[in-house]
Amino acid sequence: MKKQLHFFWLGLLFSLNSFAAEPVIIRLGILEFGTAAWEVQTLQSAKLDESGKFELAIHPLANPEAGKIALQSGAVDIIVSDWIWVSKLRSTGADYTFYPYSNVSGGLVVTENSPIKTLNDLKDKRLGIAGGELDKNGLLMQAAFQQQGNSEIASSIEKVYGAPPLLNQQMLNNRLDAVMTYWHFAAKLEAQGYRQIIDGQALIKTLGIEEEVPALGYVFKQSWAEQHKQVLTGFLQAARQARALLCESDEAWQKILPLTQTDDTHTQSVLRKRYCEGAVKQWGDPEKNAANRIYRILKTVSHNKLTGKDDNLQPGTFWAIDQE
């Protein structure tokens, strides 16, 4: 009888160990050709996901809005989005939280021979703005004009809102004097000889904020994160390693070139340069406080439309990787 009990408990122990060793499946919603897809392919190619702690199940997304819907419906565990959206949802009782992914945030681009050298040169010009009236860079530019006492310049600008590919085409056809667009579309114009006047981080500095604040991050439920702390930490570390590989290893970069959607080597080079400039180097209280200052600016200039009515970012908007 004792021998039978011994084998019973031994079998149960092996069974429990086997169960505990099963990797957690992370359902990751990403744009098929977005930079997160670059990192995921690199992560898997370099076998950075073979710790045994997690396994990625990739859910391709048609656009960022589809990602938000997928996360809110429970179809995925993680997407890439921004902290403004996270805070706005937390104010309604949702428990989403944000961990930084990238500092790169688009820029203002003009033709190489354009007379436009500074923001003030946009007076009476035709400006394309990607993302619509609530585009954060467009709003921050408006705030910069107001802070400098140049509201009349902002009022004189003819704003054209549209999807980034369409605005790029209008620039190529000389139908716009300048375009404020997402970083990879700005990079593609740069590769064709266009000139970037200012990027999102420099725009923030014109408002007196010196810290580099991540524009995008991984967004997930706080409750899910607390349940899978080690797994989430492992994934975030692997993603950072993948980004470093893309910036340091030509071999790793070559493998994701099809995802850049261009065969032009110069365009690929500019995309890589801008992507690597977006690495998050510092993330602590100064950056989080700076994010709150940006939030208040955006709240004012958007008349609450972008942020909601709360005066400050919601507590818990930013996930602390080492939080208890």
pLDDT in tens, 188-239: 999 999 999 999 999 999 999 999 999 999 999 999 999 999 999 999 999 9
- What pLDDT is recorded for position 190? 96
What are 196's strand-pairing partners? Answer: 109
Residue 16 has pLDDT above 50, yes or no: no
- What pLDDT is recorded for position 147? 92
pLDDT tens-digit readout, 295-315:
999 999 999 999 999 999 999
Domain map (residue ranges) of the chain:
13-103+215-261, 107-205
Distance CA(62)–CA(92), nearest Å, equals 26
Q: Which amino acid, one-letter code, is at 292?
A: N
Helices (H), 249-284: 250-255, 265-277
pLDDT tens-digit readout, 48-102:
988 778 999 999 999 999 999 999 999 999 999 999 999 999 999 999 999 999 9
Q: What is the mean pLDDT of the chain?
A: 92
Q: Do domains 13-103+215-261 and 107-205 have the same CATH topology?
A: yes
Is the distance from CB of 101 to CB of 67 less than 8 angstroms?
no
> pTM for the whole thing?
0.90
**CATH 3.40.50.620 is right for the domain spanning 13-103+215-261:** no
- What pLDDT is recorded for position 20? 52
Write down the CATH number for the domain with range 107-205: 3.40.190.270
Least confident of 9-13, 24-28, 243-247: 9-13
Q: Which residues contact 203 (CB under 8 A, 6 or more apart)?
A: 108, 137, 140, 141, 144
**Residue keyed to tokens 């809102």:** 161
User: Comparing C-alpha atoms, which of 48, 50, 55 is closest to residue 28?
Assistant: 55
| Model confidence band, residue 18 (pLDDT cutoffs 50, 70, 90) | very low
What tokens appear for 187 in the block? 């990079």
Percentage with pLDDT > 70 across the chain: 92
Distance CA(90)–CA(92), nearest Å, equals 5
- What pLDDT is recorded for position 191? 96
- What pLDDT is recorded for position 322? 60
- What pLDDT is recorded for position 324? 41
In DSSP notation, 17-57 reads HHHHTSPEEEEEEEETTSHHHHHHHHHHHTTTTTTSSEEEE
